[in-house]
């Protein structure tokens, strides 16, 4: 069974600080996605990374896929209260059903003023 461990589980920071969330596995994934989920809503896709070593930027968010395609990180620069939410990574298995994602354990981020 593939497992995606996220760290930290919880993160409470002040506005303007930087942070990094990690998503690690012993399995290789064909691609990896990051989602953000706000209370009472469904997860919303932020980014998909496909190539080992790939880096994608989305405004203040920087996503990196590990060279071996087993891990990923999400870095937020100058966090804002609007970044508050549950961040989930999700991996698509190599050689498996592309649509069958394995979700990570989640990182709950709170950004305060």
Partner 1 sequence: DTAVSQTPKYLVTQMGNDKSIKCEQNLGHDTMYWYKQDSKKFLKIMFSYNNKELIINETVPNRFSPKSPDKAHLNLHINSLELGDSAVYFCASSRVGGASSYEQYFGPGTRLTVT
Alpha-carbon 46 to chain mean position? 9
Of these, 48, 62, 73, 84, which contacts partner 1 (CB under 8 A)? 48
Q: Which is nearer to partner 1, 19 or 86 (CB)?
A: 86
Q: Which is nearer to partner 1, 78 or 98 (CB)?
A: 98
Q: How far is the CB of 106 from partner 1 (least distance, A)?
A: 5
Quickly count: other Cβ atoms within 10 Å of residue 17's Cβ: 13
What counts of helices (H) and strands (E) characterise the chain? Answer: 0, 11
Q: Which is nearer to partner 1, 15 or 41 (CB)?
A: 41
Q: How far is the CB of 111 from partner 1 (least distance, A)?
A: 18
Site for partner 1 in 54-113 (CB under 8 A): 86, 88, 90, 92, 97-101, 103, 105-106, 108
Q: What angle do CA 103, 59, 72 make, to 5 degrees?
A: 30
Contact between 75 and 20 (Cβ < 8 Å): yes
First to last CA, the chain: 40
- Pull the structure tokens for residue 55: 């880096």
Q: Which residues bind partner 1 (CB under 8 A)?
A: 31, 33, 35, 37, 40-45, 48, 50, 86, 88, 90, 92, 97-101, 103, 105-106, 108
């Amino acid at each position: 069974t593939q497992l995606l461990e996220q760290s930290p589980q919880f993160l409470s920071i002040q506005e303007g600080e930087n942070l990094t969330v990690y998503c690690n596995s012993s399995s290789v994934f064909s691609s990896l996605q990051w989602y953000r989920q706000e209370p009472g809503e469904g997860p919303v896709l932020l980014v998909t990374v496909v190539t080992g070593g790939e880096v994608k930027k989305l405004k203040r968010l920087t996503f990196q896929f590990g060279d071996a395609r087993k891990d990923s990180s999400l870095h937020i620069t100058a966090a804002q209260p609007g970044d508050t939410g549950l961040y989930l990574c999700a991996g698509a298995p190599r050689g498996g059903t592309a649509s069958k994602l394995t979700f990570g354990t989640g990182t709950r981020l709170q950004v305060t003023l």
